[in-house]
A and B are shown apart, each in its own frame.
Chain A
Amino acid sequence: GNSVTQMEGPVTLSEEAFLTINCTYTATGYPSLFWYVQYPGEGLQLLLKATKADDKGSNKGFEATYRKETTSFHLEKGSVQVSDSAVYFCALRTAGGGNKLTFGTGTQLKVEL
């Protein structure tokens, strides 16, 4: 079956630090990969996505590259801000997976001044 493994949090960084949140996956077929962000008290919002190998998704300074050879989709940002404090979820979907998203457990990011 499909599964997503994320690095455990919480991750605490100083403002302007470099961020990496690791995500690896197991899937049957060729998944589409997603990063969602959840701000306190809110629902999940799509941050970025990639639908095939070597695609790079990017949004709001965040990037993630679909690496088929390492089955990874690590999230990176060069300089985090306090406003990036949130929980980040890696997710995948396969056509054979019934169109449902499989989520990782989420990684809490806290950015301090």
Chain B
Amino acid sequence: DAGVIQSPRHEVTEMGQEVTLRCKPISGHDYLFWYRQTMMRGLELLIYFNNNVPIDDSGMPEDRFSAKMPNASFSTLKIQPSEPRDSAVYFCASRPSSMNTEAFFGQGTRLTVV
């Protein structure tokens, strides 16, 4: 398996534009997580899905952020409109159902909003 695949790896956009980040989890994994990493706040969980259903979105910073998982092999995180303070590295992770298994992370998308 190729692991968790995220695209794009880097994104530079202007303030006010819509940004869509994409994630393909590992096949067979039931859980998918979106994290944001910044120097100031470290790693923050934004939202996670179980069997394509959003379970906890309490970490989503505000209404400008939305996430979807239309099927088991694809998820998106959308920011509309984007702001400079959204600049961060966004990670997607997935794991199977078994409680004691670890989460596998993608390589992240580095987002810069100018």
Contact = CB atoms under 8 A, between A and B. Distances in A.
B100 interface: yes
Nearest to B92: A43
Interface in A76-94: 89
B30 to A, nearest CB: 10
Contact of B42 (A42, A46, A49, A103): A103
A11 B42 CA distance: 17
Interface in A19-60: 32, 34, 36, 41-46, 49, 51
Q: What size tier do the contact residues of chain A reach?
A: 20 to 34
Given A49-B102, A99-B50, A43 B43 contact: no
A36 B100 CA distance: 15
A36 to B, nearest CB: 8
Given A99-B50, A100-B45, A46 B100 contact: no
Interface string B65-96: 00000000000000000000000000101000
